[in-house]
Amino acid sequence: MFNKKKKKQAKPVAKAKLVELYRQAVRSEIPLEVVDRKVNAYFTKMSSVEYVQEEVDHEQLLQSTKLPFSKRLFFTLTPLICLILGVTLVGSAAVPIASYYLFTVPAFSQNNLNEVVPKIIVQAKEAPPLASNDLEQPTIINRELDYTNLSNWFPTLSIPEVDESKSPEYIIDIPSLDIQNARVKLGGSNLDKSLIQYPGTAMPGQVGEPVIFGHSILRQFYNPSEKNPRRYISIFSKIMTLSKGDKIYITFDNVKYTYVVKQKRVVKPEDTSILEQVYNSRGLRLITCTPEGTTLERGIVDAEIVANNE
Cβ-Cβ contacts under 8 Å for 143 (sequence gap 6 or more): none
Would you state the torsion angle of the CA atoms of residues 276, 279, 283, 286, taken in this order, to the nearest 10 degrees?
10
Provide the pLDDT for residue 310: 47
**Do residues 101 and 158 share a domain?**
no
**Do residues 93 and 160 share a domain?**
no
**Do residues 174 and 297 share a domain?**
yes
**Do residues 29 and 97 share a domain?**
no
Provide the pLDDT for residue 211: 97
What confidence tens digit (pLDDT) does each residue in 116-154 have? 344 444 444 555 555 555 544 444 444 567 888 998 888
C-beta separation of 272 from 124 below 8 A: yes
246: CATH: 2.40.260.10
Give the torsion sign (CA, 41, 44, 48, 53).
Answer: positive
Q: How far apart are the first and last CA of the chain?
A: 86
**Do residues 299 and 263 share a domain?**
yes
**Amino acid letter for position 209:** E
Residue 2 lies in a domain: no
**Do residues 172 and 302 share a domain?**
yes
What does the angle CA 242 – CA 245 – CA 250 come to, to the nearest 5 degrees?
80
**Do residues 148 and 175 share a domain?**
yes
Provide the pLDDT for residue 119: 47
**Do residues 156 and 88 share a domain?**
no
Residue 248 lies in a domain: yes
CA distance 170 to 210: 12
pTM tops 0.75: no
**Do residues 165 and 182 share a domain?**
yes
**Do residues 299 and 197 share a domain?**
yes
b/e map 223-248, b = 16+ CB within 10 Å: ebeeeeeebbbbbbbbbbbbeeebbb
CA distance 300 to 286: 6
Provide the pLDDT for residue 26: 73
Provide the pLDDT for residue 244: 93
**Do residues 37 and 97 share a domain?**
no
CA distance 260 to 256: 13
CA distance 293 to 310: 38
Cβ-Cβ contacts under 8 Å for 265 (sequence gap 6 or more): 108, 109, 112, 299, 300, 302
Estimate the crossing angle of helix 32-65 against helix 15-27, to 10 degrees: 140
Adjacent-strand bridge partners of 306: none
Element (H, E) at 7: none
Average pLDDT for consecutive 10-residue bins of the chain (310 residues)?
49 65 72 74 71 75 70 79 79 67 61 43 52 49 71 84 86 97 94 94 94 92 93 94 95 95 93 90 94 89 79
Overall number of domains in the chain: 3
- Domain limits at 212? 120-130+144-309
CA distance 264 to 301: 5
Residue 49 lies in a domain: yes
Is 148 exposed, middle or buried (CB count within 10 Å of its CB: 0-12, 13-18, 19+)? middle
Q: What residue spans of 100-180 are helical by DSSP H?
A: 132-136
Closest CA to 234 of 288, 175, 154: 288
Provide the pLDDT for residue 236: 96
